[in-house]
Structure 1
């Protein structure tokens, strides 16, 4: 796990060191810069695999190919043997970076289809002057790139671009739009108009001096097909692929532990990890003062069942300093309140281990959210809704009635976002400066999600809702949250539920099976066999943050200052934001909207982003 940086073109070579320093926390063990004529690669390393031989940037013996890589390739031993049988010679003992390097030389882009891992990497071909880069199927690891005046810069996150003198810092209004709607910008947009995210499952090629890169999807979310095995075989097969994924992902040359929330996903992974570990597994939970969502007692029961060395970490009070520090560790705004607690958990866990196993992905792949059952067909249009909508839009009836006028697809779209192209409480235009509205294209709010729905057949059924979440909520919120929170402390987090064997299995099972008899039926079935009843026989929980209480208490001064200063940003309506903060004690005001705007304002401080 690392931070990567690269340039094609010499304009910013002299600033590569300071750019790399902005992502130094991603790799505290080594920082290396390698200039190769027109190109430059840099790497900040968190040493996990082949501590002695895995240094980067890494080159082939003839110097033609150079790679920088962030992530882990879990089936690297198998690929190494295949390459050796084809005549490739390795210089390292067991570096997965060298497997990628020689695998690309041998197979080209076909290498991507062979990989089981989380990855973002770039390879420079000195002979052709061409850069190739790729990102894993679900976007577990980030990759951002920008091209200005025929020179390309890429990096793990947006942070290095803010360090480069003369690199454009123009706001992307569409990224701002999706952030206000969905609490995170969606790939390929970033908050900088001149920097793109390589989407999940995508790769790109760039030739020195060109104005654009050529991108394509090397993996796409498959359409649902019929079940390919008898239902009675599903649980044994799920157990097999989970064991395979866990066996691959627990390989490390450094201490490894696991987040243990006490929920089904993390508890199942701990059970498999404990089975195959020679030492007691180090597990980590946060204990919350509010008994309403504290799960530490359930996590302790799981840890005791499997003989773990359990660490119960007192959840820190989220005072203003801790909140602001966590937000400033973000390379771009992310308004999931659980990020702040994940940031704290990662920092405490890093004091004990270098790698942690996480249960991310279980809800998205296996049907863990009630919204997956709230389908378009459950909200048919009523005869009176069309005239009601027309009256609301014309201002003849209160905007509070808008929601009652919506049905089917539009109602689900409305529910999915905090702000959008509607009147009333969810009117995004109210919080933006009028001059930016044409570029923000508010009418296309969350269009990336809608396109994913359309790719699954265009109907918002359970299948489409589950699959659309993979490249929106999972990749851009959950996985980004875990990556940024953990990498702020130099902690590698692995997600076995998103390993290739598990991904292939889960996507081959129809949504109706995942949701049969309740949410997440298959994982719950395994949990009934392996885990204490307190894990699976209770309501679902998650990190919860008492936002309204914090707005009134320890965050009050931060909010006062930020909202009072909102007029400094020409793309926002400072007047509307200030008025919202004045009403923050009103229970009818959305605390999630206030939090979304507060995170944005904290993040914007000292960013010097322009609108032109």
Structure 2
């Protein structure tokens, strides 16, 4: 696991070192450099596999191919043996890194389809004068790039590119406009002009002599594939694929641990780890110094699982003040505004004291359906069929109520959403997002922030038009797989763990499991309102029924509970008239939102989310542009 930076063009040790130092946290164990008259490559190494001889940059036998990369190849042993039989000679002891250069030698760019792992790769092919950038199928490892004076610059984190002296830092208002709707910056945008994120499953090839690039996708999730397996076969296959995925992610030359929230996803991973480990698994849970019943239940559930599986369990309790103190560090980790889940940052402080590698349950929500849009997709689809009857006074039958779960007791909510969207997917999805385009016109100061040229609904509509899935739930899952997962979930997993030099591995993101689950119909994933139904069936016998059927809480900070009291002073210190004068915000509208929230005895979570979105942006903007 590492961080990488580089650029084409004139050799400069000073610039390369400056860029590489900026991502020191991604690999504090070693640094490595390669330079010639065409390219400059550097890496920071977090030593996990082949600690002694796996130093980067890595080269082939003739030193015509050079590699810096970030990630893990989980099937490297099988691939290494295959390459040895074909006559390739390795100079490292058992490095997964060296496997990559020999695979490229043997198979060309098609080698990507042979590897199972997470990766951001920079390959220099000196014969063809091509610098090749590759990002893994799911987007677990980030990779950013820019073009300055006809040269390419790349880095695992934006901060590396910002240290390139010929790049001029400017805000990208189109990207920043979308932040207020999605709570993150959608790829390929970044907050900065002319810096882009490589898409998951994408290759960029830059000819350093001709100064030309080509980009293409080598993998995309396919919801059109279907299989005819029966339920017994499906549950067997899911369990086997998950078990093998966990086993592969336990390969390490250093100690490993696991996040344990007490929920279905992380508990299943820890259970399988315990089955295949020769020693106690170290597990880690996050709690809070202020008592909140629903959050306290997470700690209790995690302790129960730890006791059942006999893990070496650790807990980290954080306070609202710690959130205030560390929020600037969190936002620096992203180099972007972000107002989603940031729990990983705080728990990984503890994990870093014990292990370098931790497995997690990330990806299960997007595979099997858990968030609001997937939960709404089937009930809204059914509601459209019976709406005319309901308007005529029709009383819901028991069968209707089952089909509308979990919203059978909140029909008014479904009706309002249906009337606003007429059942149109992109329209009702847009309705449940944060700031709408019209509201942003009131929120943002056009004298400072260019908002009127950009439209988040059009971006969402374009994403929906490119979906291939046919059934309602799989369409919602496909959209989240291509947007929310890489841009939001995997972003916070990577940046907020790597800032503490911890590698996170996610068994649910093994491409074999992903492709199989994508081929299943939606009504197996959420069945009659039962979230992750087929996954729960697959885990029978692996976990106690109480854990399998436990209501999902989610690995998120209780920000919206703290906002009313513990964070109130912090909010007003940052969102007052003095602070917002001549800022990107219209103070009067921000004041309206604050008054609406704090003058209401009820805790309006939608308003709370907007306020947190605004204050997170304000702090980020001050860090980078004030």
Instruction: Report if TM-score (shorter chain) is over 0.5.
Output: yes
C-alpha distance in 2, partners of 1:592/1:606? 21
Residues 1:304 and 1:552: Cα distance change in structure 2 (over 3 Å): closer
C-alpha distance in 2, partners of 1:195/1:460? 36
Deviations 1:352-397 (A, max 9, x none): 11100000001111122353142363464989xxxxxxxxxxxxxx
Does the Cα contact within 8 Å between 1:566 and 1:574 map onto a contact in 2?
Answer: yes
C-alpha distance in 2, partners of 1:430/1:247? 52
Structure 1 residue 75: Cα displacement: 0.7
1:604 and 2:621 correspond? yes
Residue equivalent to 2:395: none
Structure 1 residue 555: Cα displacement: 5.8
C-alpha distance in 2, partners of 1:279/1:458? 43
C-alpha distance in 2, partners of 1:490/1:513? 38
Range 269-278 or range 200-209, more displaced: 200-209
C-alpha distance in 2, partners of 1:143/1:52? 26
Residues 1:374 and 1:579: Cα distance change in structure 2 (over 3 Å): closer
1:153 and 2:170 correspond? no
Does the Cα contact within 8 Å between 2:223 and 2:469 map onto a contact in 1?
Answer: no
Residues 1:234 and 1:224: Cα distance change in structure 2 (over 3 Å): same
Partner SS for 1:299: helix
Residues 1:263 and 1:557: Cα distance change in structure 2 (over 3 Å): closer
- What is the CA RMSD across the aligned residues, in angstroms? 2.5
Residues 1:583 and 1:31: Cα distance change in structure 2 (over 3 Å): farther
Within a 5 Å distance, the mapping from 1:255-404 to structure 2 comes to 255-288=255-288, 289-294=291-296, 295-319=298-322, 320-336=324-340, 338-339=341-342, 341-375=343-377, 377-378=381-382, 380=384, 404=419
Does the Cα contact within 8 Å between 2:183 and 2:613 map onto a contact in 1?
Answer: yes
Partner SS for 2:157: coil
Pick the aligned partner of 1:408 from 418, 423, 427: 423
Structure 1 residue 103: Cα displacement: 0.7
Does the Cα contact within 8 Å between 2:369 and 2:531 map onto a contact in 1?
Answer: yes
Pick the aligned partner of 1:485 from 496, 501, 507: 496
Deviations 1:29-69 (A, max 9, x none): 11223222221011111000000111111122322111111
Partner SS for 1:408: coil
Residue equivalent to 2:406: none
Does the Cα contact within 8 Å between 2:265 and 2:364 map onto a contact in 1?
Answer: yes
Residue equivalent to 2:399: none
Deviations 1:253-289 (A, max 9, x none): 0010111111011111111100110001111111333
Structure 1 residue 109: Cα displacement: 1.4
Structure 1 residue 89: Cα displacement: 1.2
Residue equivalent to 1:591: 608
C-alpha distance in 1, partners of 2:57/2:503? 19
Does the Cα contact within 8 Å between 1:566 and 1:578 map onto a contact in 2?
Answer: no
- Please list every run of 5 or more consecutive structure 1 residues that lacks an aligned counterpart in the other structure: 384-400
Range 81-90 or range 284-293, more displaced: 284-293
Does the Cα contact within 8 Å between 1:168 and 1:194 map onto a contact in 2?
Answer: no
Does the Cα contact within 8 Å between 2:471 and 2:522 map onto a contact in 1?
Answer: no
Does the Cα contact within 8 Å between 1:429 and 1:437 map onto a contact in 2?
Answer: no
Structure 1 residue 212: Cα displacement: 5.4
1:464 and 2:471 correspond? no
Does the Cα contact within 8 Å between 2:420 and 2:428 map onto a contact in 1?
Answer: no
Partner SS for 2:124: strand
Residues 1:540 and 1:70: Cα distance change in structure 2 (over 3 Å): same
Within a 5 Å distance, the mapping from 1:97-136 to structure 2 comes to 97-136=97-136
Range 406-415 or range 217-226, more displaced: 406-415
Structure 1 residue 174: Cα displacement: 2.1
Structure 1 residue 327: Cα displacement: 2.6
Partner SS for 2:3: strand
Structure 1 residue 578: Cα displacement: 5.3
1:531 and 2:543 correspond? yes
Structure 1 residue 99: Cα displacement: 0.7
C-alpha distance in 1, partners of 2:464/2:174? 20
Within a 5 Å distance, the mapping from 1:431-510 to structure 2 comes to 431-434=443-446, 441-445=453-457, 447=459, 449-457=460-468, 461-510=472-521
Pick the aligned partner of 2:569 from 528, 548, 556: 556
Residues 1:553 and 1:232: Cα distance change in structure 2 (over 3 Å): closer
Does the Cα contact within 8 Å between 1:147 and 1:212 map onto a contact in 2?
Answer: no
Does the Cα contact within 8 Å between 2:64 and 2:126 map onto a contact in 1?
Answer: yes
Does the Cα contact within 8 Å between 1:151 and 1:209 map onto a contact in 2?
Answer: no
Does the Cα contact within 8 Å between 1:379 and 1:407 map onto a contact in 2?
Answer: no
Residue equivalent to 1:225: 225
Residue equivalent to 2:396: none
Range 124-133 or range 48-57, more displaced: 124-133
Partner SS for 1:267: helix
Q: Aligned pair count? A: 584
C-alpha distance in 1, partners of 2:479/2:488? 13
Deviations 1:370-425 (A, max 9, x none): 53142363464989xxxxxxxxxxxxxxxxx9995432225413334211234xxx
Range 511-520 or range 173-182, more displaced: 511-520
| TM-score between both structures, scaled by the size of structure 1 | 0.89
Partner SS for 1:293: helix
C-alpha distance in 2, partners of 1:4/1:32? 10
Deviations 1:519-553 (A, max 9, x none): 10122113332212331233111124233633643
Does the Cα contact within 8 Å between 1:239 and 1:526 map onto a contact in 2?
Answer: yes
C-alpha distance in 2, partners of 1:567/1:64? 57
C-alpha distance in 2, partners of 1:442/1:586? 33
Partner SS for 1:213: strand
Partner SS for 1:484: helix
Does the Cα contact within 8 Å between 2:345 and 2:496 map onto a contact in 1?
Answer: yes
Residues 1:51 and 1:555: Cα distance change in structure 2 (over 3 Å): farther
